[in-house]
Amino acid sequence: MQLVYLFIKKYIFFKHDDNYINSLSITSIVAIAISITIMFTVLSIFNGVSEKIRSLFLSTTAHVQIYLDKGEADNFTIYANEQKDVSVASKTIKTGAGIISQGSFHGVMYQGIESEQFKKLYSVKFINGDICNRDNLNKLFRTHQIDYIVHFAAESHVDRSIDSPGDFIQTNVVGTFELLEAARNYMTSQTSNQNKNFRFLHVSTDEVYGSLGETGLFTEDTPYAPNSPYAASKASSDHLVRAYFKTFGLPVLTTNCSNNYGPYQFPEKLLPLMIHNALKGEPLPIYGDGKQVRDWLFVEDHCKAILTVLEKGKLGHVYNIGGHNEKSNLEVIQSLCNILDELLPDSKFRPHQDLIQFVTDRPGHDRRYAIDATKIQNELKWRPQESFETGLRKTVEWYLNNKDWVNRVMSGAYKGTRLGLT
């Protein structure tokens, strides 16, 4: 501001012989003053947005919340920086899923650090439970003041739903029912002031709509036509959520997303399984002709969309979330192999495309999914930030840098089997 003052003093109060020059100077100063005013106004708006984002994250339950006393934030930051799987962001969360330090607004992105490590250092409460257990759910609601429920819990792998459909009915249908009932009882017990901001966000899938032809997109008004036990179980849960809004007035929101991919995806899913197999030189099985088309959505874009719906979505509404990345399964695996060839030039399995094997198609395999995300884009101003090319590279790099995590997961009951293999 001192510099501005000196400028004004020089060019307004300095005596010029030419009145025309004086007029130009005054006009310039007025323009500069207006520009500065606009700049400060814009900065104020952005500061307000920053505060809004900060308050939003602090009011939203993340995967884990860490409550730090004054002075502990620096210690936590130092500790987090020492962990290869943890990144620290100053004053904001880098992704929609994170850990929030309430004391200093340090945000820590949750990237697989073991819960026991947190337990040793800080007072973090992890609750392991079954959403089908009503007693446990009611206890949680009695114990905690719940602001939001974001319902991710589900059996989600189509292959396993064909082999064991009962597990999917139990978790996806019965589990959703029990959670809705617990939420309804909780809402009934609260005063109108206490529950006015309560939200129940149900995370679902585009598979409930069935299969598309070569053209067209799924919208929020597309009739349900599930073709697998998994899709049918999710469609059933969607209908339950809608019914609890219409019948009981439960403040619900529903999102139907396209194919998710990214770090920390369980290796029964296509991309992590293919990466795991490729690193071992094992076959890369592709169902049928590999021309089944999916709309691929990077996980961080999905998290941001969910947070947007939670904050700004209209109660009782459905929002389709898509990545605008239609790719056939064969295209996806070929792109994956090309990236592996590039990042692993010394691999004895190059070219990795030689590992591709076409296997018998699975029953009821939908041919094409594609999401019309116009509603969330226009009404809530969300758009995906990641292209499939950039997201796929990030995904591959993460799995290459976190082989220990994959091996630990694969050492359990799941052995990477898929239908169609002999």
Residues identified as active-site: 206-207, 230
- Strands (E) in 107-176, as ranges, are 107-109, 148-151
Q: How far apart are CA 175 and CA 386, in angstroms?
A: 32
Q: Which two tokens stand for residue 276?
A: 């795991």
Count CB atoms within 10 A of the CB of residue 87. Answer: 16
Pairing of strands 107-109, 98-101: antiparallel
- The residues that bridge with 294 in the sheet, in sequence order, are 327
Q: Which two tokens stand for residue 396?
A: 């591959």
* Residue closest to 143 by CA, chosen among 116, 113, 182: 182
Backbone dihedral region of 349: left (phi > 0), alpha (psi from -120 to 50 degrees) or beta? alpha
Given a contact cutoff of 8 angstroms between Cβ atoms, the answer to whether 328 and 290 are in contact is yes
Given a contact cutoff of 8 angstroms between Cβ atoms, the answer to whether 161 and 155 are in contact is yes
Alpha-carbon Rg for the chain, nearest whole angstrom, is 26
Pairing of strands 318-321, 259-261: unpaired
Long-range pairs for 218-222: beta carbons < 8 A, 24 or more residues apart: 218/256, 218/320, 218/369, 218/370, 218/371, 218/372, 219/320, 219/372, 219/374, 219/375, 220/256, 220/317, 220/318, 220/319, 220/320, 220/375
3-state secondary structure 324-383: CCEEEHHHHHHHHHHHHHHHCCCCCCCCHHHHEEEECCCCCCCCECCECCHHHHHHHCCC
- Strands (E) in 112-181, as ranges, are 148-151
Q: How far apart are CA 37 and CA 386, in angstroms?
A: 35
Q: How far apart are CA 405 and CA 83, in angstroms?
A: 14
Element (H, E) at 166: helix 165-168
CA dihedral 199, 205, 209, 215 (to 10 degrees): 120
